[in-house]
Amino acid sequence: MKRQTLKTLLTGSALLLCALCVFFTGCGNIVAETTEEKAETSSHSDEDKLTIGLSQVGSESDWRMASTDSVKAAFSSAEGYNLIFDDAQQKQENQLKAIREFIDQGVDYIILDPIVETGWDSVLTEAREAGIPVIVYDRGIEVDDEDLYVCWIGSDFKLEGERACVWLEEFLASRGVNRNINIADLQGTLGASAQIGRSAALEEAVTLNKNWRIIARDSGDFTTAKGKEVMTEMLNKHGRDINVIYAENDNMAYGAIEALEKKGYTAGMDIENGEILVISFDATHNGLELTLDGKIAANTECNPLYGPRLTEIIDTLEKGGSVEKVTYIDEEQFSGISYIGTIQVRNRPYTVTYLTEDLINDRQY
């Protein structure tokens, strides 16, 4: 009886052992397949990935959010990067703190979109001493030693302003408007390179056009809410004396148009009959919709899609190559009228693109 029981147990154990072997062999195949699938999904191990510290201005505008999305997508984990992102909330002290934290964390590269141009010498010196290359994009910086950063890529903000002002000259000439033109300048964040360049272009245009005057000027910090607040104050003081609003970005233009309409004014191009002409910058989706509707007369692009260009720079540096110290990106200009198709700025022609709904829908931002 005992011998039979033992035989039965041994037989059962053998069967169980076989079953377990089959099971684990199958599991081994499953594990192998899963590992292969993961390898196909991401070709970069954590050890291979470059760590990037990104200090962004904030999220104050549609343009800024499009820019951030572009850079985040380009430096995603799937693309082989570890991205440490910091939103400075439009405070330089937050950017300085973030850069020092990036240094402490030993990142491979620091990418900086600076809030203002000055005040970077000390922290960038610390980055250089730590052996961390710094790439500056969008807004520019002023430092005593330009070797503190590898390169800068961004917009020619003064050229953007010049293109806007020349467009205005052409428009007024096409309408036969020869009287005095009173301009309200909604400036961006004071000290930001976009504000400096666009404001300087307007100042020069006013000097060249003797019947132009800046009768109101204040900062709207590149935001819709502040743009509306400042525009309301300007209207309370100057009212219908304002002929043109020079809004230094789309979000401030949105706020200005809201303020105009609330006060009973009309944003449009018929300034001879009391409409107030609005010029803007950025060429965001909503900004172009307003341009197509005629509420914004001309909109000069500030291209936010920096992600691919920044990865190209880092890829070049990783391969031991050199990059240009300063790179300007190509940008367009748009209007809802068709009869100003080209303007001359700095002795070269620039196209003014006539807007359509299809063109707006085809754009990336």
SS (H, E, C) the chain: CHHHHHHHHHHHHHHHHHHHHHHHHHHHHHHHHHHHHHHHHCCCCCCCCEEEEEEECCCCCHHHHHHHHHHHHHCCHHHCEEEEEEECCCCHHHHHHHHHHHHHHCCCEEEECCCCCCCCHHHHHHHHHCCCCEEEECCCCCCCCHHHCCEEEECCHHHHHHHHHHHHHHHHHHCCCCCCEEEEEEECCCCCHHHHHHHHHHHHHHHHCCCEEEEEEEECCCCHHHHHHHHHHHHHHHHHHCCEEEECCHHHHHHHHHHHHHCCCCECCCHHHCCEEEEEEECCHHHHHHHHHCCCCEEEECCCCCHHHHHHHHHHHHCCCCCCCEEECCCCEEECCCCCCEEEECCEEEECEECCHHHHHHCCC
d(CA 361, CA 67): 18
pLDDT of 19 > 60? The answer is: no
d(CA 48, CA 52): 13
Residue 233 sits in the same domain as residue 342: yes
- pLDDT band of residue 48 (cuts 50, 70, 90) is confident
283's tokens? 């060429």
* 104 found inside a domain: yes
* 26 found inside a domain: no
pLDDT at 294: 97
Residue 339 sits in the same domain as residue 207: yes
Residue 136 sits in the same domain as residue 167: no
**CA distances to 66, 75, 111, 242, 294 from 71, in Å:** 9, 6, 10, 39, 32
* 130 found inside a domain: yes
The answer to whether 199 touches 190, Cβ cutoff 8 Å, is: no
Residue 110 sits in the same domain as residue 164: no
The residue written with tokens 């609003």 in the block is 245
State the distance between the two ends of the chain, measured CA to CA, in whole angstroms.
84
Residue 197 sits in the same domain as residue 86: no
pLDDT at 40: 40
- Average per-residue pLDDT in the chain? 90
d(CA 19, CA 13): 10
Residue 195 sits in the same domain as residue 255: yes
pLDDT (mean) for 9-14? 39
- pLDDT band of residue 364 (cuts 50, 70, 90) is confident
- pLDDT band of residue 45 (cuts 50, 70, 90) is low
Amino acid at 322: S
pLDDT of 34 > 60? The answer is: no
Residue 119 sits in the same domain as residue 166: no
d(CA 63, CA 304): 6
pLDDT (mean) for 187-198? 97
pLDDT > 90 in the chain, percent: 86
**CA distances to 109, 124, 172 from 134, in Å:** 6, 8, 44
CA angle, residues 282, 91, 159, in degrees to nearest 5 = 30
Residues 6+ apart with CB under 8 A from 94: 86, 88
More confident residue, 228 or 364: 228
- pLDDT band of residue 39 (cuts 50, 70, 90) is very low
pLDDT at 174: 96
Residue 115 sits in the same domain as residue 180: no
* 272 found inside a domain: yes
Can you give the length of the chain in residues?
A: 365
Among 12-26, 159-173, 273-287, name the one with the lowest average pLDDT: 12-26
pLDDT of 188 > 50? The answer is: yes
The answer to whether 62 touches 285, Cβ cutoff 8 Å, is: yes
Residue 195 sits in the same domain as residue 342: yes
**Predicted structure pTM score:** 0.84
pLDDT at 7: 35
pLDDT at 333: 98
Residue 149: which CATH number? Answer: 3.40.50.2300
* 267 found inside a domain: yes
Residue 168 sits in the same domain as residue 298: yes
pLDDT (mean) for 299-307? 97
Residue 317 sits in the same domain as residue 337: no
CA angle, residues 141, 142, 143, in degrees to nearest 5 = 115
Structural domain span for residue 61: 50-154+305-328
pLDDT at 136: 98
pLDDT at 46: 67
Residue 229 sits in the same domain as residue 321: no
* 115 found inside a domain: yes
* 32 found inside a domain: no
Dmax over CA atoms of the chain, in Å, equals 121
Number of domain units in the chain: 2
* 259 found inside a domain: yes
d(CA 230, CA 259): 9
